Amino acid sequence: MKRITVLAGAVATIGLHGCAGTTASLDEPVQVAEVRAPLSVSESTYFVEMPFKDNKVYFFGQPKPKEVAKAGGSILYPGDTAAMFFASILAHSMISSSVQGAEEKARIEEANAILEPYQSSLDKVSAAYLHEYAVAQSARSHDAEIAMYSEGMEYEGFRTTMEPVFIMSRSTDSLAIRAEVKIFSSDEAPDDPVYERTVHLHSEPHAETPTDGSHWLGDGSGTRLLSTVYSLSRDALVYAIRDYQGEFDTEGTRESTIRYRMNGAKIVERGKFINDETCGFIVFESLRDELKRVQSLDGCLQQAAPSVETAPQQEEAL
């Protein structure tokens, strides 16, 4: 009872603080204040450890995938003599690997170029804040007990590490997180994770994707972009915890063809369907054993105007 009262008080305080607004601009560098002790800690608390050495978070553009070719090519090597035959194979192999290497480099550079309009906003994102946001939000939503881990601390429950990268879709309609999450239990060997998985979550796509990036940047402060980054980071942690707790069990589920939306187009992937979530999100297990949350083909689209409710205020976490 006492715990519920404390939590309710904390939620009310955070909520009122959030409603009061802030004069701090998101253009200013993120100031990370000392984190308060978690409101309550139990044996089911997940202590989040920050594995980043440089406090840096990485962002990439989504590379263009290979496209279905409408005809296959075949190669005939000149084979007047055995030596000429093998020499022509070797020459072809060297040339094609060199060309493919250059193409791959160009593909990645072209993909990352899409981040340019957002760079100043993305530079504000710190790994420390991602975790602090997750801890602060857990007090509000109660979907997982998350607390900060300090190096060397003794804990009862679970220690969680997460290494995320963020990927902007080619059309810039949505952002995705791809996070390697590990969970360690205080009851088990400290260095052997009891859970280890890649969690890959897509954000809701925007209905409009103007080329100037205004759908993410709004008035220039990048509020929506940053709020999406923080929400995805927290969601990845919560999904991993839910998965560890057995909520996304796929035992006995047959593989099927999953169709979803990305860049405004249909994407096809094979996997084990887990469930439909609110607003048309589909959760499934990919063939590479990733836990994925994607937008269904008929899912709802975010409107271009930023949503105040979904934008996390940095002060809330502090």
Question: Which positions touch other proteins (CB under 8 A)?
Answer: 65-77, 79, 85, 89, 92, 255, 257, 259, 266, 268-270, 286-288
For residues 26 and 39, what is the distance between their CA atoms, to the nearest angstrom?
27
Shortest Cβ 170–other proteins spacing (Å): 14
DSSP 203: P
- Of the pair 40, 263, the CB lying nearest other proteins is at 263
- Sequence-distant (6+) residues with CB within 8 A of 60 are 111, 112, 115, 165, 166, 167, 168
Shortest Cβ 188–other proteins spacing (Å): 28
- Of the pair 19, 69, the CB lying nearest other proteins is at 69
Shortest Cβ 298–other proteins spacing (Å): 17
User: What dihedral angle (degrees, nearest 10) is formed by the CA atoms of 170, 174, 175, 181?
Assistant: -110
For residues 206 and 38, what is the distance between their CA atoms, to the nearest angstrom?
35
What residue has token string 């796509």?
Answer: 205
- Of the pair 8, 95, the CB lying nearest other proteins is at 95
Buried b (16+ CB within 10 A) or exposed e, 237-273: bbbbbebbeeebebeeeeeeebebbbbeeeeeeebbb
Shortest Cβ 74–other proteins spacing (Å): 5
- Of the pair 143, 269, the CB lying nearest other proteins is at 269
- Of the pair 214, 286, the CB lying nearest other proteins is at 286
- Of the pair 5, 257, the CB lying nearest other proteins is at 257
Is the Cβ–Cβ distance between 173 and 206 less than 8 Å? yes
- Of the pair 204, 285, the CB lying nearest other proteins is at 285
Angle between helices 2-20 and 127-141 (to 10 degrees): 120
Shortest Cβ 288–other proteins spacing (Å): 5
Shortest Cβ 8–other proteins spacing (Å): 46
- Sequence-distant (6+) residues with CB within 8 A of 264 are 171, 173, 205, 209
Cα–Cα–Cα angle for 310, 315, 318, rounded to 5 degrees: 120
Shortest Cβ 204–other proteins spacing (Å): 24
